[in-house]
Structure 1
């Protein structure tokens, strides 16, 4: 693990909806250049954590530090400006806009002046998107839409990219392809927080892993440590 200050530092984070507490004192870190897997079953609180960290929902308590700045309570536009970018669960692309239009919107808040250059970089990473520049996003396959969602995130020149369930709804072949793309991002030195239910694939590429259950972190450590423990595998991963 890096001895440098964490790029993302979450401490004692609490939050929820109405009077229902979902996050119960979450502590989590992502270091520069690191790929961290956040695992847990559906309903564990993973997406709520993402949305609180990214300023979409307000935290009830706790702190979010990013790149040395305190983003606790910051509006989501300020979070994006800082370079903390989420590719949300379900892709959330604009189906009636073209591939190029969707990508262009990714640089609306950050890196707008380098939009053309970054579009070229996205097309180099995802050649299939270049072939479909003018195609309406809603007419693309699920795998292509996920590529578009990640490409749109890259348009903002992220310092940390949060990928929320990127393999959800994809065929096994496309899941393999998606994790191959995540490996490519990892190789560039981009910090990635990978939020997934696909345990095996995630642990293969992660530097560290967290397991979340009922809004709390139940495990934090090396993937090998998690896989070596029969008790942890049975209790939290269903393996």
Structure 2
């Protein structure tokens, strides 16, 4: 693997007296899709929020493009090009689709907003048809497109996608994973945090499996699909 764009070592964090992450190591190379898998409560979302600066790290290091961002403010992390599309979409329901997209370039790439809008509309043509529609009235699939599109407006160097398929129909999940593969084909590095194991491993170069706040094993998609450890991690058998 080339020099990692994101390198996490010994990361610990949590909430109050509760420690959730217990020494996580993870790498993402430039242009790579890496899947972070695990059942509910494994610590995946806490990992995303800690790397993104939304939750304070208690120990360990997070390096982005070789710079330690472990104690960096989340706005500066966004400005560096590490952009997090959160679980649950977190769109602004009372703003239009266009206004939500424009907010994505508030901290980064504001001067290229018009060009990036056209790029997003090229990837998600449905959003162009709904620029004036209030985001809260859009379908679940359209809201997920909007959340990803908003992330792309900031010209990410690494895009963290937290449970992007959650709540979507099987047809929309298929479409979503196709779009993620398209973004990867354009050279974007992606950390895909998902419970949809099969489709994640189909498009990821490598994957990590997290249990109880720690990475238990990792490997290529083919390696993980061939091991019983993956089944045990999810089913406990």
8 Å contact from structure 1 (residues 199, 237) kept in 2? no
Q: Contact between 1:167 and 1:175, CA under 8 Å: does it hold in 2?
A: yes
CA distance in 2, matches of 1:226, 1:123: 35
Pairwise CA RMSD: 0.9
Aligned pairs (5 A) from 1:144-159: 144-159=142-157
TM superposition shift of 1:52: 0.4
CA contact (8 A) 1:14 1:24 kept: yes
Distance (Å, rounded) in 1 between the aligned partners of 2:212 and 2:56? 19
| Structure-2 separation of matches of 1:57 and 1:186 | 27
Number of residue-to-residue matches in the alignment: 236
Is 1:114 paired with 2:112? yes
Q: TM-score, normalised by structure 2?
A: 0.98
Cα distance in 2 for residues equivalent to 1:108 and 1:25? 33
In structure 1, the partner of 2:234 is 237
Instruction: Report deviation, 1:44.
Output: 0.2
Matching residue of 2:84: 86
Q: Is the 8 A contact 1:10 1:27 kept in 2?
A: yes
The residue aligned with 2:73 is 75
Which of 21, 30, 33 aligns to 1:32? It is 30
SS across alignment from 1:60: strand
8 A Cα contact 1:85 1:160, kept in partner: yes
Matches within 5 A, 1:183-222: 183-222=181-220
Q: Deviations over 1:193-237 (max 9, x none)?
A: 00000000000000000000000000111111111112x132113
Kept after mapping to 2: 8 A contact 1:34/1:192: yes
2:50 — aligned with what? Answer: 52
The structure 2 residue matched to 1:132, chosen from 130, 133, 137, is: 130
Measure the CA separation in 2 of the matches of 1:121 and 1:67: 25
Runs of 4+ displaced beyond 6 Å: none
Distance of 1:75 and 1:42 partners within structure 2: 27
Partner residue of 2:10? 12
How far off its partner does 1:171 sit? 0.7
Distance 2:230 2:101 in 1: 39
CA distance in 1, matches of 2:119, 2:178: 17
SS class of match (2:57): coil
Where does the alignment leave 5 or more consecutive residues of structure 2 unmatched?
none
Q: CA deviation at 1:139?
A: 0.5
Q: Is the 1:35–1:206 contact (alpha carbons within 8 Å) kept by the matching residues of 2?
A: yes
Report the Cα distance in structure 2 between the residues aligned to 1:219 and 1:175, rounded to whole angstroms. Answer: 26
